[in-house]
Amino acid sequence: MTSATQHPAPAGSGTGEPAPLPRQRGKCPFSPPDELLQRAEEHPVSPLIMADGSVGWLVTRAEDVRAVLADNRFSADILKASNPIQVIPEEAKQLPPDPAFFIHVDPPHHTRYRKMLMGQFTMRRVRALEPRIAEIVTDRLDAIEAAGAPADLVRDFALPVPSLVICELLGVPYAEREQFQTLTAAMLRTDATPMEIGMSAWNLRQYLAALVATKHDEPDGALISGLIHDSDDEPLTDEELTSIAMLLLVGGHETTANQLSLGVFALLSNPEQLAVLRADLDRIPDAVEELLRYLPTFQFGVTRLATEDVPVGGQLIRAGESVSLSLSAANRDPSRYADPGVLDVTRTGNQHLAFGHGVHLCIGQQLARAELRIALRALFTRFPGLRLHGAIEDVPLRSESLIYGVRELPITW
């Protein structure tokens, strides 16, 4: 397989000079870096300097990002690819792949696990969960109201709601939330060392391995027990179950919690759009889709590795070259969205890429949508005078994490 460093952008190719991934945001906390959007406009496929010094490609146009995500000639194996944020230690690359950590595994291994989990994340199951999600949301709002203003929306609402939901779905004790919340947040930091990230991942894996072991003798009606006791296919090993539990636990609360808190922050910072929403809360489903498009929560995109030569956006990506797909830039593509830099809760037909595309399309997307719809409707119904407690520029951002958001969101009403 050819190394990416052997194929820098040829002179005069029109793709621009190799450069690192832009990470410095401008004044607007809801926009991707200005330099990223400028590169997307000038060179939708441009040479990118990866964290290990190799040169790969940055793909930013919605059509091209969607095409790469749907193309099986691009591998999701991050241990083989280079990425623009972190250097993968050589010892990690020598480890055998973990097929059950299926977001980074290609078919056919990926197909088996995804098929099993699709049976657990059906629309019927999500709809059946909605009354319980509503109860959780109401309980948290009751607690906020009882404690009185001001409150921290992250600590008191945006983090507890998806954490409680995913705990109930998986069968993880919510009383132990501080342990797994701390570990998952540490795993997603971009300023941590590989050793620190590895230790956090190892500790979380040990915690979940012990939990999986108890489910054999003490089954419940939750997802982990269902995978152990209700599967008609080849039984999963405890190692596979632990990997699946780890993936779902991290993805099930970190992404939704940050999308919820950042979404409320964006609405409170755009009073005209919030007024439109408050006047007609039936617009909530469209508003959720617009917030998913507008907010760069998964701020550094996803990485793929070309397994053969593939043309993308008029540029030949060679076998062995790594490709960074900017979901946030794709969701601001002016050829796909009118006024893409404007938050518009009345926007319809919003086919964004916040959940990815292709065989790795987020398996929990319908659950996340349900949580966001229920939480936003209840929050703005309960507190019609909800507003920021302090200035927009004083809200601390999670710029150091793979999952962008706010660390705290002071609110009053």
Q: What is the pLDDT of residues 101-122, one digit of tens each?
A: 788 889 988 898 888 888 777 8
Tell me if 1 is assigned to some domain. no
Q: Decide: helix, strand or coil at residue 180.
A: helix
Q: What is the pLDDT of residue 231?
A: 66
Backbone angles phi, psi at 305, to 5 degrees: -125, 125
Q: Please check whether residue 272 lies inside any domain of the structure.
A: yes
Q: What is the pLDDT of residues 199-234, one digit of tens each?
A: 998 999 999 999 999 999 888 888 899 888 876 667
Whether the Cβ atoms of residue 305 and residue 81 lie closer than 8 Å to each other: yes
Query: What domain count does the chain have?
Result: 1
Q: How many angstroms separate the CA atoms of 226 and 237, rounded?
A: 13
- Which residue is it, tokens 């939330």? 177
185 falls within a domain: yes
Give the model confidence (pLDDT) of 256-268 as tens digits: 999 999 999 999 9
57 closest CA partner among 235, 393, 313: 313
14, part of any domain: no
Q: Mean of the pLDDT values across residues 19-34?
A: 95
Assess contact for 172 and 249: CB atoms under 8 A: yes
Give yes or no for a contact between 140 and 155, defined as CB atoms under 8 angstroms apart: no
Beta strands in 292-378 (DSSP E): 302-306, 310-312, 315-317, 322-325
Beta strand 302-306 with 74-75: parallel, antiparallel or unpaired? antiparallel
Average pLDDT (247-273) is 95
Q: What would the DSSP string read from start to end of 190-217?
A: SSS-HHHHHHHHHHHHHHHHHHHHHHHH
Query: Residue 194's pLDDT band (boundaries 50, 70, 90)?
Result: confident
Calpha distance 150→196 (Å, rounded): 35
- Cis status, amide bond into 150, omega within 30 of 0: yes
Q: Report whether pLDDT(12) > 60.
A: no
Is 23 contained in some domain?
Answer: no
Q: Are 181 and 203 in contact (CB under 8 A)?
A: no
Q: How far apart are CA 300 and CA 308, in angstroms?
A: 24
pTM: 0.93
State the residue range of the domain holding 96: 42-412
Residues 200, 208: Cα–Cα separation, whole Å: 12
For residue 70, which amino acid is it? A
Segment 121-165, tens digit of pLDDT: 788 888 989 999 999 999 999 999 999 999 999 999 999 999 999
Question: Of 179 and 344, which is predicted with more confidence?
Answer: 344
Kind and range of the H or E element at 376? Answer: helix 365-382
What's 85's domain CATH number? 1.10.630.10
Domain assignment present for 181: yes
Query: Does residue 31 lie within any of the structural domains?
Result: no
DSSP 3-state assignment of 163? helix
Residue 219 lies in a domain: yes
**Rounded Cα distance, 155 and 184, in Å:** 16
Q: Which residue has the higher pLDDT, 286 or 3?
A: 286
